[in-house]
Structure 1
Amino acid sequence: MLKAVIFDLDGTLLNRQASVESFVQGQYERLFESVSHIPKEQYIARFIELDNHGYVWKDKVYQQLVKELSIQALTWQELLSDYIDHFHTHCVAFPNLIPMLEQLQNQYSLGMVTNGKGRFQMQNIQALHIESYFSSILISEYEGLSKPDPAIFQKVAFQLGLSPSECIYVGDHPINDIKGAQAVGMKAMWKKDTFFDEPEAEYVVEHLKEIPLLLGRN
């Protein structure tokens, strides 16, 4: 019997693509005097391309951006600091995030396991106003563990007072989320993302509003 639903953050609860697009447009406008020699569309498009769906950390992205676009008025470190300080103000949730969590919390314990930098990810969680819904939130930098390491999935189950078999994990990444959770005995629900090939998951959803309905039938 399922007693907990555990979520990934980026690409699952946080619409990262929309958030990145909003952020990089804001960054260009905020720093316009230093990047005005670059067409806005070029700056935005190249950042998104280098970002690679969030799987390249931004120190590398900004080093390459500064080099390619001949940015001389700002260092890559200054651009990175701007990213860290301002990204959370551009966070966009997927539709029905809060109603979905409110429905689930009446029946399940809720947890979250996300890879990423600790302060940065916590700011994003708080920007979405969802921190209070979760009994356990594990961020890889704080834990010294990253998905798909089995230990981080086992730890969240332990913190919820449950065995992994009593938990279902919801995420978008076929390896880090789906296979990682299944490896410790959790069921897995894949939230569709066209960036990835579809994994072998017990459940597949396209929208957050489907999750309570699907779990309610099982």
Structure 2
Amino acid sequence: MILKSIPFPNLHKMLTTLTNQSIVLGIISNGRGQFQMDTIMVLGIENYFETILISEKEGMKKPDPRIFKKALQQLNITANECIFVGDHPGNDVKASQDAGMLAVWKKDLQWEDVQADFIIHDLMEIPLIVENLANRTNYGN
């Protein structure tokens, strides 16, 4: 079997931009362990991430808040320091918000009326969101 995966546009550019800003990154992915890891490897993105949690291996999956808490522990950050980016309204957006994170929804024409903290069309919007939030947090310090 030959595995081929097509990334969202600007995936590598966005990940490089964030890592150059010393942003710590992690993945939480629902799916079968080896298949998901193979996909991550084919995309060539595994080295950008400090932690990669795949539901099958973890024995829990999104929207279970335990998988979000495990990622936070492994990254050594709190939920209010975290922005979660996903394309599923329930498993990604609502679940991460329920875990105390800000949620960024990567717009998908399959869904409507998603109640995310931020809605993006292009992955390069993420570094701008991070920068704006950092500026807002540092304002007055």
TM-score, structure 1 as length reference: 0.59
Structure 2 unpaired stretches of 5+: 134-141
| CA distance in structure 1 between the aligned counterparts of 2:113 and 2:92, rounded to whole angstroms | 12
The answer to whether residue 96 in structure 2 is matched with residue 181 in structure 1 is yes
Match of 1:136 in 2: 51
Contact 1:146–1:152 (Cα < 8 Å) also in 2: yes
Bigger share in helix: 1
TM-score, structure 2 as length reference: 0.90
Match of 1:116 in 2: 31
Q: Could you list the runs of 4 or more consecutive aligned residues of structure 1 that deviate by over 6 angstroms after TM superposition?
A: none
The correspondence of residues 1-218 of structure 1 with structure 2, limited to 5 A, is 85-86=1-2, 88=3, 90-107=4-21, 108-218=23-133
Matched pairs, number: 132
1:110 counterpart letter in structure 2 = L
Deviations 1:143-176 (A, max 9, x none): 0001000000010010000111111100010100
Partner SS for 1:137: strand
1:178 Cα deviation after fit: 0.5
| CA distance in structure 2 between the aligned counterparts of 1:198 and 1:97, rounded to whole angstroms | 25
| CA distance in structure 1 between the aligned counterparts of 2:132 and 2:52, rounded to whole angstroms | 27
Over aligned residue pairs, what C-alpha RMSD do you find? 0.9
1:205 Cα deviation after fit: 0.3
1:215 Cα deviation after fit: 2.0
Match of 1:23 in 2: none
Contact 1:174–1:198 (Cα < 8 Å) also in 2: no
| Structure with more relative contact order (C-alpha pairs < 8 Å, separation 6 or more) | 1
Contact 1:192–1:198 (Cα < 8 Å) also in 2: no
Structure 1 unpaired stretches of 5+: 1-84
Percent of aligned pairs with the same amino acid: 48
1:168 counterpart letter in structure 2 = I
Contact 1:150–1:180 (Cα < 8 Å) also in 2: yes
